[in-house]
Amino acid sequence: MAVASSNKKNASSDIKYDYDAIVIGTGPGGEGVAMQLSKAGKRVVVIEKHSSVGGGCTHWGTIPSKALRQSVSRLIEYNQNPLFTDTFRNHHLTFQQILKHASGVIRKQANLRGGFYERNKVKVINAEASFIDTHTLKLTYPNGSEDKITAEQIAIATGSRPYTPKDIDFNHPRIYNSDTILSLDHDPKTIIIYGAGVIGSEYASIFRGLGVKVDLVNMRERLLSFLDAEISDALSYHLWNNGVVIRHMEAYSSVEGRDDCVIMNLESGKRMKADCLLFANGRTGNTDMLNLDAIGIQADSRGQISVDKNYQTDVSNIYAVGDVIGYPSLASAAYNQGRFAAEAMLQGKCHFSLIEDIPSGIYTIPEISSVGKTEQELTQQKVPYEVGRAQFKHLARAQIANTAVGSLKILFHRETMQILGIHCFGERASEIIHIGQAIMQQPGKANTIEYFVNNTFNYPTMAEAYRVAALNGLNRIFKD
């Protein structure tokens, strides 16, 4: 602990460093830190161990999975659209075929983000970084050579990777995690997805949309238990109705990788067989390679680092943002965390913080998006709320677009009319939610459900769901 206490002392101002700041990682969090510091005139360098910038968000996580989802969603829409005759129906695409679209998006995003660093004169070094002391990093280049680099301040934004238990052979050609699934090079007819969180549910939708038989193993009682129960139930029903077999309250005891299949043995005694396995149960912060012991910082069992409200670690000149600090582990939030951390690095503290009601976007087919409280939370807190609903099948725009599956639900206070939560299930849910989020963030009496009744929406649009839901909710209010 003597090391940690000495680390808290600020470096002497007469020490000359190679840079004002080093940022480790080029995902959304690292990009946010680097851009903000550079615009403030600081000499910034970013260290990225991969060949191009963007981090896991661009190359293995958010962008690829959402691009895959978009392609599969359009394929489903094509096959179900009554505009086309039976001659053109049931067109089949393989995983590799739709992955080509995702690869193009990844390339465009990496080039775009690389341009940000270039225009802002932020140097990018492709190497793996580890700490020597609180101001010095060892750089290990792809060819094995090493170097040292120093800076007054350092930001850790190394992101996370899929959790891979040691009793499963992830080198087997039929066993994948949520990163390596992008290298799937055959056309499976069946798949086991272990883990029914956000990633597992999204890939269950993607593979089922491609006509693959899906077994989704969930360790909990219901899917995505953090969601409003009605929305969770809607997703469960939709997956079930499309042929996904969901196995709740199950855990694996062993996994057998064979030449032609994968067999998963469950603790309940069940045995499952499929062409391949996608293990999607949790993530781990990328901190084990940083040699944190050298600077007196300890990561927890999930590889995450503790920070204060200014994103400062136990070492005064070292900050951390993004997945390595845990909640909310969202790309959108990580970029803001990076900006706020940069402000603290420049001025000693953050003047802004993440909003309390961070929207969630889950890119299943159809999408799910929520902001604010759930019915279960409000009931537990004994808040007198009411519910307004709009079914997409009643909206002209949804009928025109043949996207009638889904609904919008608004929760509001019975007395003040203040909006307390908004939950959406259906096509474009992650876009639709932002209309309600914008009103929820308004001060005073401006964030009430009456806004949606008195406002005029374009017609026909999906946004009209807010007016329909508001009227539906207000009609439930009665006076004694």
Annotated binding site for FAD: 48-57
Distant-in-sequence, close-in-space partners of 43: CB < 8 Å, separation ≥ 6: 19, 20, 21
Residue 136 corresponds to which amino acid?
A: T
Residues 24, 21: Cα–Cα separation, whole Å: 10
| Token pair of 291 as six digits | 């040699």
| Token pair of 129 as six digits | 């970084």
Q: Locate all alpha helices (DSSP H) within 263-347, ordered by sequence.
A: 331-347
| Token pair of 78 as six digits | 């094509």
* Three-class DSSP category at 164: coil
Q: Which residues are annotated as a binding site?
A: 48-57
* β 128-133/136-140 pair status: antiparallel
Residues 86, 176: Cα–Cα separation, whole Å: 36
Could you tell me the CA-to-CA distances from 334 to 321, 324, 330, 356, 457 in Å, in that order?
A: 6, 10, 6, 15, 33
Residues 221, 445: Cα–Cα separation, whole Å: 39
| Token pair of 76 as six digits | 């489903």
Residue 263 corresponds to which amino acid?
A: I
* Three-class DSSP category at 38: helix
User: Are 94 and 189 contacting, i.e. CB atoms less than 8 angstroms apart?
Assistant: no
* β 213-217/368-372 pair status: unpaired
* Three-class DSSP category at 421: strand
User: Are 197 and 281 contacting, i.e. CB atoms less than 8 angstroms apart?
Assistant: yes
Over its C-alpha atoms, the chain yields an Rg (Å, rounded) of 24
Residues 333, 324: Cα–Cα separation, whole Å: 13
Beta bridge partners of residue 272, listed in sequence order: 264
